[in-house]
Amino acid sequence: MLKDNKIFDAHIHFNDDYKYNDEMIHPMIKEAIENEVEGFLCASFDIKSSLKAIELSKKYEGIVFAGIAIHPNDVSKTDLLVLETLDELAKNKEVIAIGETGLDYFYTKEDAELQKLFFKKHIEIAKKHNKVLQIHIRDHVNVFEAYDDVIEILKVSNLQKVVIHCFSANAEYAQKFLDLGCYINIGGAVTFKNAKVLQEAVLNIPLEKMLIETDAPYLTPHPHRGQLNEAKFINLTVDKIAELKNTKREEVIKITTRNAKLIFNI
């Protein structure tokens, strides 16, 4: 059982073999635990990383939990049959989320319809196995087409447990997701000096609907931006949210961890 005075990292990639090797993971988890972090959702982006997330969840039982998915950037090089494997993997007790899935029009807008198809299939798997759906959304700056498409799909999905991973839009879109009952994940980007729009959105997101993530090894928070992200750096995000909300960091930790325990049933 997670303690309310410890941080839950609701999205990290210990399974990213491009950035982390196996020798890095144990010391990173140990150091994060020494810095008030007690739990991690290891999110995935293909079958290999999904299997690795489950493997790590078994090795670090009660500390690391698994999310399994095919990332929207990878759908064009993935056969739909792979979703049958994902459906089988979702039966594992270590799997608490289907993610990260969603729509990404930043790199691969030309396969938008295929992305939507995969996204809807992930929704079906999440509903079938009663798992949280964790959604990746990315578009060009000040363009919200991917966000609009995700919202339209969610409106007819009848999903009860949804997390918006690494939210990076404005307060208006934050409210649209809140109106759909979603939880919103805030990552290290909120610490960036040029993140005024995101910071304004955070002001409008109740702590009771917020989760915190690193997205490590990516999106390293200030002042370490440009370096490889580490699990312990989530404290910088906690501190920034506390500053923006004009509250104590202990309050941010307590409420966001309770949120994680509630939605992920851990």
Task: Give pLDDT tens digits along the chain (266 positions).
Answer: 788 899 999 999 999 998 999 999 999 999 999 999 999 999 999 999 999 999 999 999 999 999 999 999 999 999 999 999 999 999 999 999 999 999 999 988 899 999 999 999 999 999 999 999 999 999 998 899 999 999 999 999 999 999 999 999 999 999 999 999 999 999 999 999 999 999 999 999 999 999 999 999 999 999 999 999 999 999 999 999 999 999 999 999 999 999 999 999 99
Question: Which residues face 41 on adjacent strands?
Answer: 65
At 142 the pLDDT is 87
Report the pLDDT value the prediction gives residue 107, as an integer from 0 to 100: 85
- What's the sign of the alpha-carbon dihedral 81, 83, 87, 93? positive
pLDDT for the residue numbered 32: 97
Six-digit token string for 6? 């410890």
Check if the beta carbon of residue 198 is closer than 8 Å to that of residue 189.
Answer: yes
- Give pLDDT, residue 256: 98
The number of beta carbons lying within 10 Å of the beta carbon of residue 14 is 26
Q: Which two tokens stand for residue 33?
A: 């635990």
pTM comes to 0.96
> Cβ–Cβ contacts within 10 Å for residue 33, how many?
17
Using a 10 angstrom Cβ sphere, with 0-12 exposed, 13-18 middle and 19 or more buried, the burial of residue 114 is middle
pLDDT of the residue at 4: 87
What CA–CA distance (Å, rounded) separates 219 from 229?
A: 7
